[in-house]
Structure 1
Amino acid sequence: ERVAAENAGQLKKIVEAITGDALERGITYRNSAGDQFTSTLEDILTHVMMHGSYHRGQVASLIRAAGDTPSPTDYIFFARGAPAATRQG
């Protein structure tokens, strides 16, 4: 919980510091295969948000394959603040 709170605080600081112009700025980087790309900060942040959903889906699939029922992974459950053990999916 401490690490999650620290991460949330740092992310909030970053988001609050971003201006509209910064979202449109191109950032050049290399992917894990070494290929170079240029993407806007807006596209990179969108990717980060959506990529987490991908991994949560992978974990949920593994839990189902093991014969169990995963907790809901939709953002709205997190936003509502209900403890995982009490969430209904």
Structure 2
Amino acid sequence: MAAEKEKVGAEFQALRAFLVEQEGQLLGRLEVLSWEVTQKQNENPAQLEGEITQLSKLSSQIQETAQKPDLDFLQEFKNTLSKMQLGREKE
């Protein structure tokens, strides 16, 4: 009976050591994931700012084009749309 108690105690001790090791590994992974999420969050505002600037420029071009005579307007608008499509293809 004493040998069985000792055996069970040793098995639980091994399980505790395993769980402590697993906890450390999972906490390490969580820290890495947290860092990656933070990096992504920092990248997105810069990307959005660039897109907003580009859209603002296109909006200004469209507003300027709208002031032109009809034929010039259509030609300029076609060019502006082409630029927008090229910008999307780069993504």
Tell whether the structures are fold-level matches, with TM greater than 0.5: no
More strand by share: 1
Q: TM-score by structure 2 length? A: 0.38
More helix by share: 2
Q: TM-score by structure 1 length? A: 0.39
